Amino acid sequence: MVAALLKGLALGFMLSISVGPVIFSIIKQSINNGHKGGFAFIIGVAASDITLVVISNIFSELFGSLLEYKTAIGVGGSCLLITMGVYVLFLKKIKVDEAGLQIISMETHHYVKIALSGYFMNMLNPSVIGFWLLTSTSLLTESLNYRIVVFTTCLVVVALFDITKVMLAGKIRERLTPHNIHIINRISGLILIGFGLALIWGILAFGDKVS
């Protein structure tokens, strides 16, 4: 099982360091809503990864058929990114107290909404779907135990990296003023919009050529 463990570590590391909208959203949620907000977001991301892993292994034909709708999925995910980017850029407000310090006021339903945003942002990302489909397809000839070790190791590595991102972002937040957080929100919003537009352009321009 050493080979399976090493493969899982490699896949987890590769997925963790890939640059995409999720990593910026993890940082944004942690800065705006503290550790709990960041953890709620990565719980949603982890849940979507687990969902995709289960579907890709148990319902491989069904999962593969999703790629037939990659344009619709990609455009839907892109619109979600753009919507979130517009909200963060223009509508997101930073609450401050009388001393000018940021106020974090979160209730249970807020954390649920953050978790759901992480779930669907990751779930509607065609590159994530492609990653899990290619990985599961490459392991079809391996034993069940082998695949369990690979996917479990991969998911654990990704989760540890995401937790690290939340903790580091929390440390950064302690040193930021509300004005700086507002600037970071605007930059994050622009990044999300940029990812969304780039993804739509790539799907519409090259989707038919790749398929």
* pTM, 2 dp: 0.71
Residue 70 has pLDDT above 70, yes or no: no
Looking up tokens 């977001």 gives 41
pLDDT digits (tens, 9 = 90+) for 84-132: 778 777 776 655 544 444 556 667 888 898 899 889 888 877 778 778 8
Q: What is the pLDDT of the chain when averaged over all its residues?
A: 77
How many whole angstroms separate alpha carbon 177 and alpha carbon 50? Answer: 36
pLDDT at 31: 80
**Nearest 5°: phi and psi at 148?**
-60, -45
Selection from 134, 164, 130, 132 nearest residue 17 by Cα: 164
Contact partners, residue 100, CB within 8 Å, separation at least 6: 177, 178
Residue ranges with strand state E in the chain:
none
For 145, the enclosing helix (H) or strand (E) is helix 144-173
